[in-house]
Amino acid sequence: MVSDGRALATWLAARDDVALAATLAARAVPPSAAWHDFFDAAEGLLDAASLDRALTRLPRPALAALAGSPADHATTALLTRLALVDEAGSPYAAVAERVSHLLGAKPDAFVAAGAAPEPERADERAAAAAAERAFTTAGALADVLLAGLQAPLARTGTGTVSAVDRKRLVEAGAVATADELEDLLLSAEAAGLAGTVERTWIIREAGERWLASSTAERWQSIATGYRAALPAGLRTADGGFLPAARWPSTYPLDSEWPAEAARLRRTAVRWGLLDDSDAEPSWTGTLRAGGAADASALVAHLPAEIDRVYLQADLTAIAPGPLAPALDLRL
């Protein structure tokens, strides 16, 4: 009978470079790992500490599958890619042992989630408030991106914006809090508008184009990026995502997940995808079901954008409504 170590080493050796790199990255194997061959790699991946790290980051359906519940194709593929099950879909003995240990400590984590009820539909008033909040958030992100174009935003060792730049943006009225600033930059990163280089946030060309886009185009770009960047455990097979009520329990072994789930929900509220009670406007239902981001219903709740201003005798300008982003940017 072939040992688990040999079976895993053989499986690793048969992977192409891209697939092998994906497995090692997903298992958070450091570049400094002192492995000489695939047998060393197999031994390292089946080490108890390595397995515990991998199990901690698994979504609930994968944990339930390892505990014996039926698994769909996507879950089996995930467990296989993470080198937690063999080619027949059975957990390696070392994996089964760690699952048994964790099952005794946190049995609820290995229970498959039941079907979640459909989220409540936001009424007209709540939808209008969500649309207004999205509009305001888009304006705040525009201010942050403009500030980043003028002078790249510095990051601390923990990844947050430096105190100096944070204070500058708060005093300028671009954002109100540090959390808002971080949420906006992560939204921009998910949409490809900004990125990090060493200890600096830089604004990409897509970010400059976004600044000149209409409100509808701005929101669609952010909403599409937000959905694409959601953790795998929140995504559905049809390209959508789970209802927000399911998010907090998706990664039951990860102690950092509650804070991340709260951030994701907070960001969804900022961009008008949810209201304060987690009810969904119509545009969110379409996006959650895997459809394209369509801002037409959202924009219908907003005043029309104005493409001109009126000059007074003292040469001050008055806009009788929200300016079109391209004109606002030019001014």
Any idea which residue has 């705040």 for tokens?
140
This model's pTM is above 0.85:
yes
Closest CA to 302 of 123, 136, 143, 122: 136
Task: Please identify every stretch of the chain with a pLDDT value under 70, giving residue numbers as ranges.
Answer: 1-2, 304-310, 319-331
| Dist. CA 300–CA 303, nearest whole Å | 8
Query: What's the pLDDT score for residue 1?
Result: 45
| 127-152 pLDDT tens trace | 999 999 999 999 999 999 999 999 88
| Best CA proximity match to 169, nearest among 156, 185, 191 | 185
Residues 203/145, Cβ–Cβ less than 8 Å = yes
Mind listing the pLDDT tens digit for each residue in 43-72? 999 999 999 999 999 999 999 999 999 988
Q: Which of 307, 250, 305, 288 is nearest to 64 (CA)?
A: 250
pLDDT at 166: 93
59: which 2 tokens? 């979504």
